[in-house]
Amino acid sequence: MAPGSFAEYTVVPARAAAPVASVKPEYVTVPVSGTTAYISLKELGGLSEGKTVLVTAAAGGTGQFAVQLAKKAKCHVIGTCSSGKKSAFLKSIGCDRPINYNAEHVGTVLKQEYPEGVDVVYESVGGAMFDLAVDALATKGRLIVIGFVSGYQTPTGLAPVRAGTLPAKLLKKSASVQGFFLNHYRSEYQAAVEHLLQMCADGDLVCEVDLGDLSAEGRFIGLESVFRAVDYMYMGKNTGKIVVELPHSVNSKL
């Protein structure tokens, strides 16, 4: 989380660090991805038993947590992803209805199987996916804008959405769209980290990591492989949080 984190070593204030039971990549999923899902759904989701929750990029770093936390709140969870392998992963973490958008049209599935709409959307893809999610909102539905990864590689960084019709669509459903940015929720952060680390240590939460073993040049090791890892993410190849291993470059005992 601290500036300069793409480094083998960095010095951070004690308050920016959290103790972990052991050193394993799974814990890396917590500080950004886990807390984003945990705090946003807690503060903005209004989750309760029986609600329908749609998670986009559900098999990714943060999506996996949104799926599991919504299931723990006894919601019905739909998750979008790009492959059969990711669909299988989503099933394994409790997702009720994975949608592989390369095999099925998300809008059609939502219309046919969820005619009443979805109550909460955890949306991190943007563009056309955002538009489909807005159209799928139930009356008084809430869409939480977590990100818009489909636009990050464009010159503006934004994927276009049908913004012109948005006010009318929201009014007709008394629905809402709200942004969430982790940095604005510092007061909730420490408790979220502690809770998630405990769940992770207790085996109560799947913290899936992708170390790059299936990527063209193999496991992501060393700072120089950060570029490969980011490309792999934009190709939609990762399942879970991408982790780049930084081997000890000096003898830590010295």
Ligand X SMILES: NC(=O)c1ccc[n+]([C@@H]2O[C@H](COP(=O)([O-])OP(=O)(O)OC[C@H]3O[C@@H](n4cnc5c(N)ncnc54)[C@H](OP(=O)(O)O)[C@@H]3O)[C@@H](O)[C@H]2O)c1
- Closest separation in Å from C-beta 58 to ligand X: 7
Nearer CB in complex with ligand X: 62/68: 62
Q: Quote the CA–CA distance of 108 and 118 in Å, as a whole number.
A: 14
Nearer CB in complex with ligand X: 83/173: 83
Q: Quote the CA–CA distance of 93 and 118 in Å, as a whole number.
A: 20
Q: Quote the CA–CA distance of 143 and 133 in Å, as a whole number.
A: 8
What's the token pair of residue 246? 């930084």
Q: Quote the CA–CA distance of 19 and 103 in Å, as a whole number.
A: 42
- Closest separation in Å from C-beta 248 to ligand X: 25
Any idea of the CA torsion for 32, 37, 40, 44, to the nearest 10 degrees? 180
- Closest separation in Å from C-beta 115 to ligand X: 25
Nearer CB in complex with ligand X: 102/139: 102
- Closest separation in Å from C-beta 120 to ligand X: 15
Q: Quote the CA–CA distance of 130 and 248 in Å, as a whole number.
A: 42
Footprint of ligand X (CB under 6 A): 32-33, 36, 57, 59-63, 81-82, 86, 124-125, 146-147, 149-150, 180-182, 233-234, 236, 238, 241
Nearer CB in complex with ligand X: 32/201: 32
